[in-house]
């Protein structure tokens, strides 16, 4: 499916900001499941954008604005062709993971947003039951996350503990992903965090929308490693394997590694952020002037 | 641009200018002494060490070859030409993607040549060539920078360092030399003023603006306040103010902007004839102090401003 995506961040500062340095990770990945056709970044006030690929393989656009400014507008426009990844067909048991344990240790250890405690591991073990095949284990844990959490926008903040999220029983897509990752890792299944866009009217249902153009939000899901198959994308927020409505930006140990936009600046702490993601199956309509 | 890079560029400018000014002063001191009776040599070399702020570190004899080699080739002297060029080169090496290849090569080749040179022999046999070549290599560096660097903030930081160093050096030179020169008269005073002017390449420019009688007031007026001579203190400070204006975007009245405005105005609106008798020393001292303040403010504002960094707020949904 060909999708056009426009990701817009607009910062408005209470007092002028200067010496602003930012890293943008908004470019759809080019991999075996999706192909990037076009990508461009526009920054206002104008800044020279330097691009590179980070350790995890995600494209990073780096830019700095020295002169004082009252607002910052960062727009990333992309066109991407997506396909539905095949489901793992191989039969591989959790024992088969032993041979890749060293290589994938980054995705097996706790990371800042995915630190688990006893209850998380217990919940994971309970969900898995007697399953021994990685695909079954992965599905069971993903379903457990879906049934444990209610999707409640604004329920959490960045940096919340997954343990708190679990006891609270509600969260947003990042929390679903982090809780899932923590559960997988607690029982020795390599899992990584994926940042991306979802072309769906609701984050909780990966169903192709009726209208061609949609206003959405950035999305997050996860991938588990299945021996003999590779990384397999699962989206616990909407209880589905990753399909052609998912556009992957990149992956990492957790949110920290693929944060869509991070930056620092000098000036007052007071600022507003407006984020907009538009996705369309056809050409994107021109955005209404703000 | 990262403040680390800005700071490194600032210091490339400063070190290169420091090397050049040191060579200039050495050159003039050395050749001035050749023409004068031998009794003042020790005092003159002592003064030179004082101008360069290394008199407390220097323990050798106050005579030409020892002081020259200390100021040119002694790595234990942080103010020596070789130390300055070495540090400029160390900074430039970390800036390879920020400066032009030509600029890097000019600095690197200069550094390599200095490291290879046999200064003990050269300073003894052909001091004139040594000083001249150091000066022209430094000028080559600033010339290459001027011809090959885009006029971006990196270039401005480099220029800022260079101009602050130059303004400070001129003040230092005047404050140390003036005390003695004011007392002298006739031939020796005349020669001494010629050497002061020559040490900052101002002799010819001065003669075009004034007559050849070398009235001390005129010389001071010229070196401190000339609007057109690129090494006068006021000219440097005006350029510094302009650069800071460009670098900050000028809309903010920061303590740095105030500091540079203050020192520029202080210089610009001082009436030299009224301070020549007795009040020059405190004036120069104050001016130097104000120039340091500007350097400190530049460091604090551009290079050490990390303390009040704000994070761009993020949400997840």
What residues does each domain of chain A span?
2-83+260-280, 94-257
DSSP string across A207-256? ---SSSEEEE-EEEEEEEEETTTEEEEEETTTTEE--TTEEEEEEESSGG
pTM check: above 0.95: no
Q: Among the three residues B149, B180, B206, which one is the final residue of a domain in this structure?
A: B149
Q: Tell me: the pLDDT tens digits for A222-276?
A: 999 999 899 999 999 988 889 999 999 999 999 999 999 999 998 888 888 999 9
Query: How many domains is chain B built from?
Result: 2
Q: Do residues B141 and B185 share a domain?
A: no
- Hunting for tokens 């990073």 — which residue is that? A60
Calpha distance A27→A77 (Å, rounded):
8
Q: Chain B contacts of A271, Cβ < 8 Å?
A: 310, 312-313
Three-state DSSP class for residue A153:
coil
Contact between chains at A264 and B309 (C-beta distance less than 8 A): yes
Residues 6+ apart with CB under 8 A from B211: none
Crossing angle of helices B81-93 and B3-35, in 10° steps, is 160
Q: What is the ipTM of this complex?
A: 0.71
Domain range enclosing B177 = 163-304
Q: Tell me, yes or no, whether B198 and B66 share the same domain.
A: no
B308 to chain A, any CB pair closer than 8 A? The answer is yes
Q: Is B316 domain-assigned?
A: no
CB contact burial A82-111 (16+ within 10 A = b; e otherwise): beebeebeeebebeebeeeeeebeebbeeb
Residues B50 and B92 grouped into a single domain:
yes
Residues B44 and B185 placed together within one structural domain of the fold: no
Domain covering A94-257: architecture: Roll (3.10)
Same domain for B137 and B202, yes or no, is no
Tokens 């996705």, residue located: A279
Confirm whether B36 is domain-assigned: yes
Residues of A in Cβ contact (< 8 Å) with B245: none
- Residue B199 and residue B96 in one domain: no
A68 CB near a chain B CB, below 8 Å? yes
Tell which residue, A232, A215, A223, has the closest CA to residue A251.
A223
3-class secondary structure, A131? coil
What is the torsional sign of CA B222, B228, B230, B234? Answer: positive
Contact B13, B162 (CB under 8 A): yes
Same domain, B2 and B130: yes
Return the H-helix or E-strand segment holding B89: helix B81-93
If asked whether residues B20 and B62 sit together in one domain, one would say: yes
Identify whether B56 is part of a domain: yes
Q: Residue-wise pLDDT tens for chain A (290 aa)?
A: 999 999 999 999 988 888 899 999 999 999 999 999 999 999 999 999 999 999 999 999 999 998 889 999 999 999 999 999 988 876 788 888 999 999 999 999 999 999 999 999 999 999 999 888 999 999 999 999 999 999 998 888 888 899 999 999 999 999 999 999 999 999 999 999 999 999 998 888 878 888 888 899 899 999 999 998 999 999 999 888 899 999 999 999 999 999 999 999 988 888 889 999 999 987 777 654 44
Tokens 């530049």 belong to which residue? Answer: B298
Whether B156 is covered by a domain: the verdict is no
Kindly determine whether residue A261 and residue B249, on different chains, have CB atoms separated by under 8 Å: no
Q: B311 CB near a chain A CB, below 8 Å?
A: yes
Residue B188 is predicted with a pLDDT of 63
Structural domain includes residue B311: no
Tell me: do B230 and B128 sit in the same domain. no
Q: Which of B149, B182, B198 finishes a domain?
A: B149
What are the backbone dihedrals phi and psi of residue B294, each rounded to the nearest 5 degrees, phi first?
-60, -45
Residues B142, B77 share a domain = yes
Give the minimum alpha-carbon distance from A98 to chain B in angstroms, rounded to a whole number. 35
Cβ <8 Å between B312 and A21: no
> Which of these CATH numbers, 2.60.40.2250, 3.40.1160.10, 3.40.50.620, 3.40.50.970, describes A2-83+260-280?
2.60.40.2250
Facing B249 at nearest CB: one of A68, A259, A268: A68
Residues B106, B74 share a domain: yes
How far apart CA B169 and CA A19 sit, in angstroms, is 31
Task: Compute the nearest-CA separation of B155 from chain A (Å).
Answer: 14
CB of B312 within 8 Å of any CB in chain A? yes
Say whether both B75 and B137 belong to one domain.
Answer: yes
Residue A21 at interface with chain B, using a CB cutoff of 8 Å = yes
B310 contacts chain A (CB < 8 A): yes
Q: Which residues of A167-177 are buried (b: 16+ CB within 10 A; e: fewer)?
A: ebebbbbbbbb
**Chain B contact probe: residue of A67, A215, A255, A268 with most B CBs at under 10 A:** A67
> Per-residue confidence of chain B (317 residues) as pLDDT tens digits?
778 889 999 999 999 999 999 998 888 888 778 776 667 788 888 888 988 889 899 999 998 889 999 999 999 999 899 999 999 999 999 999 889 999 999 999 999 999 998 888 888 888 889 999 999 999 999 999 999 999 988 999 999 999 999 999 999 888 777 766 655 555 567 777 888 888 888 999 999 988 888 888 899 999 999 999 999 999 999 999 999 988 887 566 788 999 999 999 999 999 998 888 778 888 999 999 999 999 999 998 888 765 567 888 777 76
Report residue B167 as tokens.
């303004």
B309 within a domain of the structure (yes/no): no
């Amino acid at each position: 499916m060909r999708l056009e995506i426009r990701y817009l961040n607009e910062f408005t500062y209470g007092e002028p900001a200067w010496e602003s340095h930012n890293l943008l990770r908004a470019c759809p990945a080019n991999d075996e499941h999706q192909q990037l056709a076009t990508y461009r970044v526009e920054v206002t006030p104008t800044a020279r954008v330097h691009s590179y690929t980070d350790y995890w393989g995600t494209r990073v656009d780096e830019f700095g604005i020295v002169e004082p400014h009252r607002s910052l507008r960062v727009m990333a426009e992309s066109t991407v062709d997506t396909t539905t990844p095949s489901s793992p067909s191989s039969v591989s048991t959790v024992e088969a993971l032993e041979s890749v344990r060293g290589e994938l240790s980054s995705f097996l250890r706790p990371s800042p947003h995915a630190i688990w405690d006893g209850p998380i591991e217990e919940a994971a073990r309970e969900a898995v039951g007697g399953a021994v095949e990685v695909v079954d284990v992965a599905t069971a844990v993903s379903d457990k996350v879906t049934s444990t959490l209610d999707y409640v926008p604004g329920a959490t903040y960045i940096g919340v503990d997954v343990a708190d999220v679990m006891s609270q029983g509600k969260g947003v897509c990042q929390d679903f992903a982090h809780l899932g990752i923590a559960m997988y890792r607690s029982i020795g299944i390599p899992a990584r965090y994926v940042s991306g866009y979802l072309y769906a009217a609701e984050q909780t249902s990966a169903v192709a929308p009726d209208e061609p153009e949609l206003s959405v939000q950035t999305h997050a899901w996860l991938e588990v490693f299945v021996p003999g198959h590779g990384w397999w994308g699962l989206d616990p927020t909407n209880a589905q394997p990753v399909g052609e409505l998912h556009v992957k930006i990149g992956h990492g140990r957790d949110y920290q590694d693929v944060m869509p936009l991070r930056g620092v600046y000098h000036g007052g702490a007071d600022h507003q952020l407006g984020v907009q993601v538009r996705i369309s199956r056809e050409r994107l309509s021109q955005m209404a002037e703000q | 641009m990262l403040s680390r890079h800005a700071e490194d560029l600032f210091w490339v400018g400063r070190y290169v200018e420091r090397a050049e000014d040191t060579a200039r002063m050495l050159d003039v001191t050395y050749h001035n002494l050749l023409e004068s009776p031998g009794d003042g040599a020790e005092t003159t070399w002592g003064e030179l060490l004082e101008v360069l702020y290394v008199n407390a570190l220097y323990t050798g004899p106050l005579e030409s070859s020892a002081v020259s080699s200390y100021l040119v080739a002694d790595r234990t002297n942080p103010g020596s030409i070789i130390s300055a060029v070495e540090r400029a080169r160390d900074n430039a090496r970390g800036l390879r993607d920020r400066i032009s290849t030509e600029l890097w090569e000019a600095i690197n080749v200069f550094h390599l040549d200095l490291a290879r040179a046999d200064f003990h022999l050269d300073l003894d046999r052909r001091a004139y060539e040594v000083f001249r070549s150091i000066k022209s290599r430094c000028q080559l560096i600033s010339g290459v920078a001027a011809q090959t660097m885009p006029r971006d903030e990196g270039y401005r930081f480099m220029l800022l360092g260079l101009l602050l160093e130059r303004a400070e050096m001129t003040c230092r030179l005047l404050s140390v030399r003036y005390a003695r020169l004011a007392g002298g008269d006739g031939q020796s005073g005349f020669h001494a003023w010629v050497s002061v002017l020559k040490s900052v390449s101002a002799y010819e420019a001065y003669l075009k603006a004034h007559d050849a009688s070398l009235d001390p007031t005129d010389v001071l007026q010229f070196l401190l306040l000339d609007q057109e001579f690129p090494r006068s203190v006021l000219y440097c400070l005006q350029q510094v103010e302009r650069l800071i204006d460009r670098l900050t975007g000028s809309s903010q009245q920061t303590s740095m902007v105030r500091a540079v405005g203050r020192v520029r105005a202080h210089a610009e609106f001082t009436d030299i004839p009224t301070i020549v008798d007795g009040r020059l020393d405190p004036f120069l001292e104050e001016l130097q102090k104000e120039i340091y303040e500007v350097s400190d403010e530049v460091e604090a504002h551009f290079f050490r401003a990390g303390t009040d960094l704000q994070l761009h707020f993020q949400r997840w949904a």
